[in-house]
Amino acid sequence: MLKVENLTIRFDTRYGPLTAVDDVTFEVRPGEVFGLVGESGAGKSLTGQSIIGLLDPPGYIAGGQITLEGTRIDNLAYNHLRALRGRKIGMIFQDPLTSLNPLYTIGKQLTETILTHSSMTNAEAQKQAIALLTDVGIPGAGERINCYPHQFSGGMRQRVVIALALCVNPQLVIADEPTTALDVSIQAQILSLLKRMCREHGAAVILITHDMGVIAQVAQRVAVMYSGRLVEIGDVRQVVKHPQHPYARGLMGSIPSLHHQVDQLTQIDGTMPRLTDIPSGCAFHPRCPDCFDLCKDKRPPLKKIADSHIACWLYANEAHHAG
């Protein structure tokens, strides 16, 4: 349904252009939850922003294309882009306080969004807003529709944001770290709500997060990003239980487990490179335990191996044999 092909996002600085997202290709199927994980600075949020056309300057799309149901959406004029936002793609941000306008009641914000994208009357829109709020689990939605965002708690606000994102039945919802600002017990509520609502509305979700646990619980497929590049895409079971790429393997090993105690966590030494000095070849090679000469010189392409796609020279030969 959504296809992102060879997406490259650059920032022009006075030191020259910095490539923040480099040649990223993936697709999202209708109705699925697609996870995008990576550590801070991996470019996952930028990828999400570019899909909905919210990339802030000086960042810009330097290459590749994004298509939604066969229509290119990465080079739309502002008017078309506005129609697209909300109507076809909804967005849920990390901080619910900043994504709601503090000066309007939540009812006003909801009905306004519904009215912009449909031909309902005011009363109908009001009615639908109340129905939606009840649906996302806000008790007494009829009265609370006249409340301002600051009168809600963090978890309730995120529920309102979900209602706002889904109010015109978009085909795709981009959730950028939707639960990072919330406590675990509230996070569980919001995640299960997000999953249920999107299933009921038939929307696909791109879930952007740094938390592998969240991905494991909610997503069906997952893409792992490292310094602006995709390193592994695959079925969530496959990626979480049997990660192939050395980075994904290290990432999974570094998560402390709830079920058994280990003496030492697997650690990936070093840190993610800054955008100003991304290493040659495979960006992960200076930290990779399995690095060999080829990794330093040439960047590995994303190759299909079994059900996953992996960008690593370790598996390049297998790909040849397989296909």
Partner 1 sequence: MPDKDTALLNVTGLKRYFDVSRPFLNRVFERQKRQYLKAVNGVSFSIKRGETFALVGESGCGKSTVAHLVVGLFPPSSGKIEFDGINMTALKNRAQLRPVRRRMAMIFQDPYASLNPRWRVSNIISEPIKAFGLINGRQAIIQRTSALLEQVGLSPQDSSKFPHEFSGGQRQRISIARALAGEPEFIVCDEPTSALDVSVQAQILNLIKNLQTKFGLSYLFISHDLAVVRHIADHVGVMYMGRLCEIAPVNTLFQNPCHPYTRMLLDTIPDIEKMGNECAPPQGEIPNPLSPPSGCAFHLRCPQATDHCINNRPELENIASDVKVACFQARS
**Residue 251 contacts partner 1 per CB under 8 A:** yes
Indicate which single residue of 72, 237, 242, 296 sits in contact with partner 1 (rule: CB under 8 A): 237
Among 298, 252, 304, which residue's Cα sits nearest to residue 313?
A: 298
**Binding mask of the shown chain, residues 262 to 281, with x at each position contacting partner 1 by CB under 8 A:** xxxxxxxx-xx---------
CA 117 distance to own-chain centroid? 24
**Shortest distance (Å) from residue 188 CB to partner 1:** 4
Number of residues that bind partner 1 (CB under 8 A): 49
**Binding mask of the shown chain, residues 188 to 227, with x at each position contacting partner 1 by CB under 8 A:** xx-xxx-x--------------xxxxx-xxx---------
Rounded CA-CA distance 169/90 in Å is 9
Indicate which single residue of 258, 277, 320, 323 sits in contact with partner 1 (rule: CB under 8 A): 258
Q: Identify which of residues 20 and 66 has a Cβ nearer to partner 1 in the complex.
A: 20
Among 121, 114, 106, 122, which residue's Cα sits nearest to residue 169?
A: 114
Q: In degrees, to the nearest 5, what angle opens at C-alpha 188 toward C-alphas 184 and 189?
A: 120
The three-state secondary structure class of 305 is: strand
Q: Which long-range contacts (CB under 8 A, 24 or more apart) does 122-129 make?
A: 128/167, 129/163, 129/167
Restricted to residues 18-77, the positions that interact with partner 1 (CB under 8 A) are 39-40
Return the sign of the alpha-carbon dihedral for residues 134, 140, 141, 147.
negative
**Shortest distance (Å) from residue 76 CB to partner 1:** 34
Indicate which single residue of 122, 254, 280, 317 sits in contact with partner 1 (rule: CB under 8 A): 254
Q: Which stretch binds partner 1 (CB under 8 A): 81-89, 94-102, 152-160, 278-286?
A: 152-160
Q: Identify which of residues 183 and 290 has a Cβ nearer to partner 1 in the complex.
A: 183
- For residue 201, give both structure tokens: 């509305």
**Shortest distance (Å) from residue 216 CB to partner 1:** 4
Indicate which single residue of 79, 257, 277, 323 sits in contact with partner 1 (rule: CB under 8 A): 257
Among 176, 314, 285, 269, which residue's Cα sits nearest to residue 226?
A: 285
**Shortest distance (Å) from residue 287 CB to partner 1:** 9
Indicate the DSSP class of residue 103. Answer: T
Question: Which H or E element spans position 303?
Answer: strand 303-305
Indicate which single residue of 64, 155, 234, 300 sits in contact with partner 1 (rule: CB under 8 A): 155
**Residue 187 contacts partner 1 per CB under 8 A:** yes
The three-state secondary structure class of 316 is: helix
Question: Which H or E element spans position 7?
Answer: strand 2-13
CB 59 within 8 A of CB 21: no
Q: Identify which of residues 68 and 100 has a Cβ nearer to partner 1 in the complex.
A: 100
Indicate which single residue of 53, 107, 250, 300 sits in contact with partner 1 (rule: CB under 8 A): 250
Q: Identify which of residues 4 and 240 has a Cβ nearer to partner 1 in the complex.
A: 240
Indicate which single residue of 66, 175, 205, 240 sits in contact with partner 1 (rule: CB under 8 A): 240
**Shortest distance (Å) from residue 241 CB to partner 1:** 8
Using CA atoms, how far residue 226 sits from 239, 251, 268, 300, in Å, is 15, 11, 13, 13
Residue ranges that bind partner 1, judged by CB under 8 A: 39-40, 153, 155-156, 183-189, 191-193, 195, 210-214, 216-218, 236-237, 240-241, 250-259, 261-269, 271-272
